[in-house]
Amino acid sequence: MNFKKTISYIMAAVIILSLSAASYGEISVTNRAAIDQLRLKFKDEAAKVPNALPEAVQSYVVKSEKRGQIQAPRLKAKRAPKYQSSETRLQQTAPAPVQAPSAAPAQPEASVPPAPLQAALPQAVQAAPAAPVTVSSIPSVRPVQALNATRPAASPAAQSPAAPENRPAFIDNTDECFDVVVDPGHGGRYEAARNYSGDHWDPFSKTFLLPYNFGASSSGMYEHEWTLNTAKKIEEILNLTHTDAGFAEFCKILRRHSDLSSSKIKKVRVNTHLTRRYSWEDDPGKNTANVNKKYRLFDSPDSFSSGKSGPSEKMYPGRISFINQLSPDLVVCLHNNSSPNRNVRGFSSVIVPHFDFFSTINGIVTNGIANVAPNKVRVNEPKYQKVANFITSVITRPDKIDVKTMISDTATYFTGFRAFTQKFIGLRYLMVTWRYNTSSLFTSFMLFFMRENSIYENYRRSGGPEGYGGDNFYSSEEIIRYIRAALWEDLRSSNGYYAAKTSAEEYAGSHASPFVSDWAIPLHVNAITAYVELGYLSNARDRKLLKEKQAVVAESVAVGIYSLLAGLKPKKTEGIESPRGAAIDFAKYGRDKNSSGYFNISCRPLSF
């Protein structure tokens, strides 16, 4: 990566932030005070920075000329325990006991059911450098607060009782371990945005900037309940990989979804972590005033008190900080959708574009110098159409992208303000406990956008097997392909008569185009992130399918996770798109649990 280019991007973003009033319309009195405070902070921090950064310093580690191996910088491992310990939360998210799934997928009756429910991958990119080289001229920073989210050691019961040579011939003796986080969406109670309730806690204005999102619901079915129950079933299945005996049971599940005639199954251990084990209604602390601290996306005060004392200085880690502290290889976010149009149904991925995507849109709208306010742009103007043309040139299925919304997302990405409405939703990278949030606002800004320009974010969010969206989009699409193929195969095997009269899309819903925005979790975690919207609760056929086939969905997600980690040769099912079966190329991220590859650096302090 060109270092000077990186600095120019960063300084351009600083200019955008300082000129946000001109770039994105008028600012309210409250928001003006907030941005003025940020400007003063930037001014103070900029004054402390030396006149020039050292030139010819590579931002990322290069391969050794002698061995061709990645040379990782040494990072200090000390952390200051300012944040509340997450031992209680870890107990809630610790892996469940290893056991076979409690019940096989439900089979429908043989009679005719009620009304019907509605190419080769490119070769892997060569291994990339492992982690950023530290820059000595940036001011020193505070250590990242420890969340104590260490990986649980394998219990004696979880050790393999059988020697590898005694394993079945179809199992490849490659004992590799992966960490996977399953994030069931939402879980907290609805809260309006106030000084003591909501989400997106702003450390400058000391208030919540957005309401807490309760999630979708319809006809007595709730997104937070369905996603949690599904996540627990997924965990139960993946925990079978912890022992040889359990893995043999897991192989029986894989056989239902794969073709093992010409390939072996790789033996891997999957450590599964859930971001929550309760919804707030079942939480032991449901009657406490700040119960939502366990379910918020971003860090927030541990407690609130009346009077002058206000919120506590001690912060409680949000879900994003919790995920980053685990340094997972893969994050799977489970959600359901809803729509005013009750005929809409199906499955969709959720993705965040790369920095270059946002930067290009910003350049089109502002001519690169922040002299055109988006609230002056109209649909029939050339610039607005130019943004639309650019989006369609990158996203092959852009039907869910509103150009005006994408312009607003671009403004938020760079400045924290929504275009057109000028609502301030915060600089979100400062709401997370990770290496890019330091005691220096100016340094944090530089570090975050250096990350955004890194080769790793390009791998995660640009190009890739799907043509765009990177490994994140591929992972999301692959899990959806496994789900839809499993649902269709389940119908064909249980009710072939009905399957012959319908189609996969009519039964399982469509595999729709992705939702593209600056979504919080895919943007702010250092891990491959598969974010999927599974069905519409507003649609009666989707509700019925999700209720009756929850076990099928959970099993297929677990198989999809394994396939992304180790690779699998999926079955070819007639009448529906089959999964690709290719594993993610983790080597290009410098994946090594004992070094400082991309997955391990998000929660570590920097050493300059």
Cα–Cα distance between 88 and 281 in angstroms, integer?
A: 18
Cα–Cα distance between 449 and 9 in angstroms, integer?
A: 8
Confidence check: pLDDT of 76 > 60: no
Question: What are 197's two structure tokens?
Answer: 């309730």
Categorize the per-residue pLDDT at 453 as very low, low, confident or very high, splitting at 50, 70 and 90: very high
Cα–Cα distance between 454 and 505 in angstroms, integer?
A: 39
Nearest by Cα to 3 from 524, 607, 596, 454: 454
409 vs 78, residue with greater confidence = 409
Looking at every residue in the chain, the average pLDDT score rounds to: 77
The residues pairing with 512 across neighbouring beta strands, listed in sequence order, are none
Decide if 518 contacts 362 (C-beta within 8 A): no
Confidence check: pLDDT of 121 > 70: no
Q: Select 58-353+427-600's CATH number: 3.90.1140.10, 3.40.50.261, 2.40.50.180, 3.40.630.40.
A: 3.40.630.40
Cα–Cα distance between 514 and 108 in angstroms, integer?
A: 31
Whose structure tokens read 């990119």? 125
Helix %, strand %, coil % of the chain (to 5)? 40, 15, 50
Q: What is the DSSP string of 274-315?
A: ES-S--GGG-TTTTSTTGGGGT-SS-EES-B-SSSS-B-SSE
Average pLDDT over residues 573-593: 89
Average pLDDT over residues 66-79: 36
Over residues 188-232, the pLDDT tens digits come to 999 998 888 999 999 999 999 999 999 999 999 999 999 999 999
Q: What stretches of 122-260 adopt beta strand conformation (E)? A: 171-184, 199-202, 207-210, 217-218, 221-222
Q: What percent of the chain has pLDDT over 90?
A: 54
- For the chain, domain boundaries: 58-353+427-600
The residues pairing with 202 across neighbouring beta strands, listed in sequence order, are 207
Q: What is the pLDDT of residue 399?
A: 84
Decide if 580 contacts 569 (C-beta within 8 A): no
Q: What is the pLDDT of residue 360?
A: 93
Q: What is the pLDDT of residue 33?
A: 52
* Backbone angles phi and psi of 106, in degrees to 5: -65, 140
Quote the Cα angle for 53-59-61, to 5°.
140
Over residues 81-105, the pLDDT tens digits come to 344 444 445 445 444 544 444 444 4
Cα–Cα distance between 601 and 73 in angstroms, integer?
A: 11
Confidence check: pLDDT of 21 > 60: no
- H-run or E-run covering 499: helix 496-501
Is the pTM higher than 0.85? The answer reads no
Highest mean pLDDT among 89-103, 259-273, 487-501: 487-501
Over residues 316-375, the pLDDT tens digits come to 999 999 999 999 999 999 999 999 999 999 999 999 999 999 999 988 887 755 545 555
Question: What are 75's two structure tokens?
Answer: 């990072």
Q: What is the pLDDT of residue 420?
A: 83
Confidence check: pLDDT of 300 > 90: yes
Confidence check: pLDDT of 71 > 60: no
